[in-house]
Structure 1
Amino acid sequence: MVDLQNVKPYGDTLDDGMVQLSFTLPVSLSSVSKEAARQLVASMGLEEPAVAHAEAISDTFSFFIVYAKCKHGIDIAGIVVPEVDLEVLSKKEIDDFISTHLGRKLNIVGACIESDAHTVGIDAIMNIKGFNGHKGLESYHEINAVNMGAQVTCEDVIRKAYEIKADAILISQVVTQKNIHITNLTKLVDMLEAEGLRDKVTLVVGGPRISHELAKELGYDAGFSSNTYAEHVASFLVQEVKGKN
């Protein structure tokens, strides 16, 4: 029986606390660098660290995988995570909703903005083929979905939004260590506000490590992460757009 107030990592047996860490050190591979990797993990407070794999990446960089035991547990029962509150509708229900409440097609612009070149996420939501058996927004009869692709400037996104009289703008972003995603996402919000367009469109951002909380903090209406399909996004959009019309 799992104690939800003290959940620990699981390796071979319940509550054994086993974790796996992988990292790179900017030193050549040797017995000394292996020991350095082991000691580094021990200094993190993990017990019984053991280097399971070590590989030279170049003459001056080495990659390590280390197993160790975590003595800490976490109270999952006490965690509250902000999430998008919506009723997920089927593809047909979404088309019917748009037809009934809007009386016209829902206009949506989607893009990976600025330096972001990763189109997998936006394609999964927008393209007709979708992803994992879930058809994209282009397949919806009552949605006019315009996928602008990757590395699209904020200026071009706004220009296209004006052109098709967009009800919503969908942005896909990969979270980066240097927080470039925050710079990109904030830039779009600022430009939309300067154009007087922010309150007229529903603004959504998605990505593998995007949270609803982060999206709201940056000025977006919603944030979607992994395991999100077109019907999740569309269900949110139609209910939001209805409230603005």
Structure 2
Amino acid sequence: MHQAARDAYQLLSSRQYGILSSLSVKVRGYPLGSVTPYVLDGDGNPVILISDIAQHTANLKEDTRCSLTVVENTDGDVQAHGRICVMANAEPLSEHGVSAVAARYLRFYPDAETYFTAHDFSFWRLLPLKIRYIGGFGQIHWLDPDDTLKANPFSGPAETAACVHMNERHQEALRRYCDFSNIEYSGEQPLMVGLDSEALYLRVGLAVHRLAFRRNVLTNDRLREETLAMCRADYWRTRRAA
């Protein structure tokens, strides 16, 4: 995978929200931007949870073309930081698609559980058509989704089982990960909420942190080895950048 594609995927997988731009039905021909949380599905596609009464939902029902813009960091000069724009077509998830991704979404955003009692919410998948990635000044790339997004070998029940196991049996390990990563968790229990071949994801309060593995992890045996190694200080001196 090209370095720009790797960097783009890491950015997309490490952030919690982006600006969803849809084509307005109220002001025809103009894009409407909305702050939208997302997670990645088993194929690396962004999935959003949106209300039926929201303007962007009405827009997507009328015209599925949209984009999701994600910025690496808003501190300092924003133009010096990485950002990605995923140009996509949106589609509502089928019942099967919802069952595969809902558990992951609610681990990342547990407060979303209450949304279903207030309004009709539904999951939509963004199917990327083209990706624009800027890694900083002069680092500008057009990328193909097939070359950028990565399938998650743990997607679905395997990811859920791994999270339950770590949260129930290895809380001390999760706290050590935070200590080594300089993640403040005073008064909070870090929770593992996600996993893919490149990283695991810890939620502390409302913030989700991506902790990159030192090597690709594709099997449960390799995951066990990696999570044990992550309990040692020397692991964090040699791991690849998140």
TM-score category, normalised to shorter length:
under 0.3
Q: Give TM-score scaled by structure 1 length.
A: 0.24
Q: Give TM-score scaled by structure 2 length.
A: 0.24
> Which protein is bigger by CA-based radius of gyration?
1
Q: Choose between structure 1 and 2: higher strand proportion.
A: 2
